[in-house]
Amino acid sequence: MDQPASPLNDVRQRIASSAKIARREPDEITLIAISKTRPVEDCLPLIAAGQCVFGENRVQEAEGKWPKLLEAHGDIELHLVGQLQSNKAGDAVALFDCIHSLDRPTLVKALAKAMDKAARRVPCFIQVNIGEEEQKGGCVIADVPSLLDTARKADLPLAGLMCVPPLGIEPAPFFALLGKIAEDNGLTGLSMGMSGDFETAVMLGATHVRVGTALFGERKAP
């Protein structure tokens, strides 16, 4: 069946082609449409075309945008891909279906408490500072096992590992390293790959790719 030409179908096809090269099934890979900074009207055509997983990087922005849409479209999943402050853990647990930015023990505690209170378990990816960059969010590589242990003891549902590799250099070694760390720690989910590198990420085992620009066009400077 031929799909009409659109950025969404283009991204879907590129995911499928990369999966094929890696002898993977395309449906092993979840495409998360990163809609940060985009108005609701930009999301509607994607929803109409069957895209049902979206991602935002700010709790407050998402709270202004998504509750009505989620009510109207019961099958949409909303993922948080940005840094989370502990005092927003309750809001995040209430709104999001998955959190990609678990990066420290204090956040494990805050999320566990919020999930208990809401009687709702939200799967979490541990974000790893895979390039060991000073200014970047994420848990340092050496601390992944202990953070994982803390999260398991707090009974947080763990989805896997997430990373944003350093800008401007070949991302493949970083994706491969994230895969290795996940494997060593008994985790299967890999949230990696953005507009510029999702095909590489899929070939190296990504289970979740986070794509904004390739679906919506360039973001305006903040």
Ligand X SMILES: *Cc1c(COP(=O)(O)O)cnc(C)c1O
The token duo for 221 is 């400077």
Distance of alpha carbon 204 from alpha carbon 190, whole angstroms:
9
| Choices 69-77, 166-174, 181-189, 192-200; region in contact with ligand X by CB under 6 A | 192-200
Per the listing, tokens 């853990």 go with 89
Angle at 91 between CA 35 and CA 97, to 5 degrees: 55
Which residues on adjacent β-strands are paired with residue 139? Answer: 128
Among 15, 102, 128, 211, binds ligand X (CB under 6 A): 211
Query: According to the binding rule CB under 6 A, does residue 195 interact with ligand X?
Result: yes
In angstroms, give the least distance from the CB of 180 to ligand X.
21
Residue among 6 and 146 whose Cβ is closer to ligand X: 6
- Of 26-55, binders to ligand X (CB under 6 A) are 34, 36
Q: Terminus-to-terminus CA distance in the chain, angstroms?
A: 40
What are all long-range contacts of 38-44, with beta carbons under 8 Å and residues at least 24 apart? 38/216, 38/219, 39/65, 40/65, 40/69, 42/216, 43/69
The candidate with the shortest Cα–Cα distance to 125, out of 80, 180, 60, is: 80
In angstroms, give the least distance from the CB of 195 to ligand X.
3
In angstroms, give the least distance from the CB of 219 to ligand X.
7
Query: According to the binding rule CB under 6 A, does residue 58 interact with ligand X?
Result: no
Residue among 60 and 146 whose Cβ is closer to ligand X: 60
Residue among 115 and 164 whose Cβ is closer to ligand X: 164
In angstroms, give the least distance from the CB of 48 to ligand X.
21
Which residues on adjacent β-strands are paired with residue 32? Answer: 210
Number of residues that bind ligand X (CB under 6 A): 14
In angstroms, give the least distance from the CB of 23 to ligand X.
25
Question: Which amino acid would we find at residue 57?
Answer: N
- Of 108-137, binders to ligand X (CB under 6 A) are none
Among 164, 182, 192, 202, binds ligand X (CB under 6 A): 164
Contact 171, 197 (CB under 8 A): yes
Site of interaction with ligand X (CB under 6 A): 34, 36, 57, 81-82, 164, 194-196, 210-214
